[in-house]
Amino acid sequence: MPQNSYLVGLIGSGIGPSLSPALHEREADRQGLRCLYRLIDIDRLGVGPEAVGDLVRAARDLGFDGLNITHPCKQLVIEHLDELAPQAAALGAVNTVVFDGGRAIGHNTDVTGFAASFARGLPDVSLERVVQLGAGGAGAAVAHAVLTLGAGHVTVVDAMPDRAADLAAGLNRHFGEGRAAAATPDALGGLLGRADGVVHATPTGMAAHPGLPFAAELLHPGLWVAEVVYRPLETELLRAARAVGCAVLDGGGMAVFQAVDAFRLFTGREPDSGRMLADIAELAGAVRVP
């Protein structure tokens, strides 16, 4: 008999405003399924990100069908899983865990989620020279997506030089030497002046981490700006970018398309991305969809 009830959750920090529960539960309702989506916020539990393994094991023991994983646990969770899908293994980051026969299997839907959103929202921009801020779990996925979409070169900028260097080295191994380089934030002025676009993949701008990731004066009209943060949709970075005439992409589309792929993994059902885009537009304010 096909399963028609699912228990899933999200592990991360500061996830109270997350729209994932509503996205998954609404689509499940439309498909005649019952989905309970629970937030497992490490801040509210009073534990650090190193507790992610215990939380995954507890969820499995409690009968969860799967989990989404977000900042700051996407890389830390890997050692606690039984198996990794090829995409997650290549990235070294997991944002979706499926429990199957007692085994915890890690997947990454951020790559396809960002790629689908970018192709839809910024279809005609130049990808010759791209600067990316952030080399964490989301950053790894987004960098892979940008190069898969055809970027000529990506410079990864992170406050932790070793992390940026490791990601750039991995990108060069995967896509070919010379496709990626690492830099520190003090180089941003020169980098953005020569770049076609910038992808922001750090927590700065989230409801729990307000602010700009770099000085607004570094923005210029020839630059497109793509955001990963979607809580809120209109981050300070996007407001500043619009003000100087940049083409922009908010994080809402990525949030939906990664959820589309996660829903498919959890349920085996095909979700309707158009309905889910309408959901996030209603829940979080207008997502600009071409």
Active site residues: 74
Q: Residue 5: what pLDDT? A: 97
Q: Does the domain at residues 5-108+256-284 carry the CATH identifier 3.40.50.10860?
A: yes
Domain ranges of the chain: 5-108+256-284, 111-250
Taking only the tens place, the pLDDT of each residue in 148-187 is 999 999 999 999 999 999 999 999 999 999 999 999 999 9
Q: Does the structure show a pLDDT above 90 at 131? A: yes
Q: Does the structure show a pLDDT above 90 at 220? A: yes
Q: Does the structure show a pLDDT above 70 at 1? A: no
Please tell me the distance from the alpha carbon of residue 191 to that of residue 132, in angstroms, as a whole number: 10
Q: Does the structure show a pLDDT above 90 at 28? A: yes
Q: What is the mean pLDDT of the chain?
A: 95
Topology alike, domains 5-108+256-284 and 111-250:
yes
Mean pLDDT to the nearest integer, 120-143: 96
Taking only the tens place, the pLDDT of each residue in 237-284 is 999 999 999 999 999 999 999 999 999 999 999 999 999 999 998 887
Please tell me the distance from the alpha carbon of residue 282 to that of residue 19, in angstroms, as a whole number: 11
Q: Residue 284: what pLDDT? A: 78
Q: Does the structure show a pLDDT above 80 at 210? A: yes
Q: What percent of the chain has pLDDT over 70?
A: 97
Mean pLDDT to the nearest integer, 125-149: 96
Are 213 and 133 contacting, i.e. CB atoms less than 8 angstroms apart?
Answer: yes
Q: Residue 285: what pLDDT? A: 64
CA distances from 169 to 73, 91, 175, 178, 181 (A): 22, 12, 10, 10, 8
Q: Residue 290: what pLDDT? A: 36
Q: What percent of the chain has pLDDT over 90?
A: 88
Q: Residue 231: what pLDDT? A: 79
Q: Which pLDDT band holds residue 23 (cuts at 50, 70, 90)?
A: very high
CATH ID of 111-250, from 3.10.100.10, 3.40.50.300, 3.40.50.2300, 3.40.50.720? 3.40.50.720
Mean pLDDT to the nearest integer, 128-156: 96
Q: Residue 286: what pLDDT? A: 42
